[in-house]
Amino acid sequence: MTRLTPTAEMTLGPFFPREFAQGANELFSGKDSIQITGRVTELDGKPLDNVVIEIWQADAQGRYDNPQFFGWGRAATDANGVYTFRTLKPGSVEGRSPHINFLVLYSGLMRQLQTTMFFERVADPVLDLVKNRERLVAKREGTVYRFDLRLRGDGETPFFDD
């Protein structure tokens, strides 16, 4: 039986086209929309420009295959290291607490980094596996959820091995 080895991942490099990164960070704009924003930093806290962040989430009822809501988006950080999404708060799925999967691609990252943003610090079978789990919980200010990503160093974001 055929079993192929997945192609090796390699870094996105510093020149990911700007036009690829733009125009895909609004998943939902109606009433009840929320904003998710944060700063991406490297060792020593320096903010990173043109980091590509992709997200995948369920709809408000916890469905990933709702034809009326497309739960995928992409944003790139600006020169201050800041990214922004506009979307809706997902429902819970299969006993998981509401969450959004994040994927980080960048120059100097030889493989994609996978993490997950939670809305509250509650029991969750995946969040419970993580040390420093408060770093995966967004800080809420009204309808804005702040989720910073520290790739390495003090306050490093926990990432998953898939």
Partner 1 sequence: MSWIVEPRDPRTQSEGVVAGYAHTARRWPSQPLVARPHGAGELSGPAQLERRLPPSPADLAGRGANRALGQLIHLRARVVDEDGAPVPGALVEIWHCNSAGRYLHPNDSSDSPPDPNFRGNARLVAGDSGLVELRTIKPAAYAVPDTDGWWRPPHIHFSVWGRVWLSRLVTQMFFPGDPLNESDAILNAVRDPEARARCIARFVPTVPGPENALVYEYQLVVRGRKAAPRMP
* 2 near partner 1, judged by CB under 8 A: yes
Cα dist. 28→16, 51, 53, 60, 85 in Å? 25, 22, 17, 11, 9
* 146 near partner 1, judged by CB under 8 A: no
Which residue stretch of 31-39, 80-88, 139-147, 150-158 sits at the interface with partner 1 (rule: CB under 8 A)? 150-158
* 96 near partner 1, judged by CB under 8 A: yes
The tokens of 119 are what? 């809305």
Residue that is written with structure tokens 């944003």 in the block: 75
H or E segment and range at residue 115: strand 113-118
* 88 near partner 1, judged by CB under 8 A: no
Beta strands across the sheet bearing 113-118: 72-76, 52-56, 99-105, 113-118
* 135 near partner 1, judged by CB under 8 A: no
Contact code string over 40-69 relative to partner 1, x by CB under 8 A = --xxx-x-xxx---x-xxx-----xx----
Applying CB under 8 A, among 33, 82, 126, 148 the residue interacting with partner 1 is 126
Query: 42: closest CA among 15, 77, 16?
Result: 77
Residues 7-46 contacting partner 1, CB under 8 A: 7-20, 24, 42-44, 46
CA atoms within 13 A on the CB side of 157: 25
* 112 near partner 1, judged by CB under 8 A: yes
Applying CB under 8 A, among 36, 53, 117, 130 the residue interacting with partner 1 is 130
